[in-house]
């Protein structure tokens, strides 16, 4: 029963972590350019049980699972029209580059703003400067003019990690990125979140039930253990 107790605890913890991922996805259903997260689980250590009377057969008894990692799915969301001259969507791979002092962050959210700084009008995002094709700040003379917003592609998107405010930062010092040659920018459009409500609701219900089941296993194992201890006494 001790093994059942630990299996139930590990399962409950995994389900709680999974619920956190699902909840975060659902809270970003309306977030522009948001990329949903996907949980990956792995089995915990197994115990070998030898066969009866020296037989070579071995059975394995598992001890539950745990949340191994959380992947970000970088598939493209659907574009929707806004007609705003400061809204941009990427059709294809890549990210907008945003400069905060000496560090560059990346995002798929193209809901930019025009801000007057140092007697000039700059295209900005969340207080950072949007970069052009040459990784330079974008200084606007006339909002009606063409704006060369840069789109940058990574050799491997797994080199990025979330950093808040719908931004990504480089997590691998060996990460490489270049100006995109194939992606196109759609001005007057934004990219929708890739979170699908129906899919996340199904996952939520399944995970809640699994959590309740593991909680029942823990409770039952505890009650049986108490009964055994009372009989011993």
Closest-CA residue to 149 (of 115, 186, 121, 118) = 186
Who wins on pLDDT, 21 or 82?
82
Closest-CA residue to 17 (of 9, 28, 7) = 9
The CA distance from 23 to 204, in Å, is: 8
Instruction: Based on the fold, state whether residues 187 and 199 are members of the same structural domain.
Output: no
Instruction: Based on the fold, state whether residues 183 and 206 are members of the same structural domain.
Output: no
Closest-CA residue to 98 (of 156, 25, 150) = 150
Instruction: Based on the fold, state whether residues 207 and 187 are members of the same structural domain.
Output: no
* Domain housing 97: 79-191
Q: How much is the average pLDDT of 215-233?
A: 62
Instruction: Based on the fold, state whether residues 33 and 131 are members of the same structural domain.
Output: no
Domain count for the chain: 2
Indicate the pTM of the whole model: 0.77
Instruction: Based on the fold, state whether residues 151 and 209 are members of the same structural domain.
Output: no
Instruction: Based on the fold, state whether residues 17 and 35 are members of the same structural domain.
Output: yes
Instruction: Based on the fold, state whether residues 162 and 121 are members of the same structural domain.
Output: yes
Query: pLDDT band at residue 209, thresholds of 50, 70 and 90?
Result: confident
In 108-154, the DSSP E strands lie at 113-117, 120-125, 128-130, 139-140, 151-154
The CA distance from 233 to 229, in Å, is: 6
Instruction: Based on the fold, state whether residues 121 and 164 are members of the same structural domain.
Output: yes
Instruction: Based on the fold, state whether residues 86 and 181 are members of the same structural domain.
Output: yes
Q: Which pLDDT score is estimated for 61?
A: 47
The CA distance from 155 to 186, in Å, is: 23
Instruction: Based on the fold, state whether residues 22 and 45 are members of the same structural domain.
Output: yes
């Amino acid at each position: 029963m001790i093994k059942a107790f630990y299996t139930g605890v590990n399962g409950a913890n995994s389900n709680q972590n999974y619920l956190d991922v699902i909840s975060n996805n659902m809270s970003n259903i309306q977030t522009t350019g948001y990329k949903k997260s996907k949980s990956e689980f792995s089995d915990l250590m197994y115990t070998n049980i030898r066969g009866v009377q020296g037989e070579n057969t071995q059975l394995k008894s598992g001890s539950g699972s745990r949340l191994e990692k959380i992947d970000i799915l970088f598939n493209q969301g659907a574009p929707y029209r806004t007609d705003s001259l400061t809204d941009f969507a990427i059709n294809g791979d890549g990210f907008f580059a945003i400069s905060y002092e000496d560090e560059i962050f990346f995002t798929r959210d193209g809901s930019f703003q025009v801000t007057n700084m140092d007697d000039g009008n700059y295209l900005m995002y969340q207080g950072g400067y949007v970069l052009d094709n040459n990784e330079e700040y974008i200084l606007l003379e006339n909002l009606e003019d063409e704006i060369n917003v840069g789109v940058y592609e990574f050799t491997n998107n797994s080199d990025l990690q979330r950093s808040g405010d719908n931004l990504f930062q480089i997590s691998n010092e060996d990460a490489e990125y270049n100006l995109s040659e194939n992606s196109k920018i759609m001005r007057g459009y934004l990219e929708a979140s890739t979170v699908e409500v129906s899919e996340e609701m199904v996952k939520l219900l399944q995970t809640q039930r699994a959590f309740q089941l593991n909680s029942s296993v823990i409770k039952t194992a505890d009650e049986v253990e108490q009964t055994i201890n009372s009989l011993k006494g």
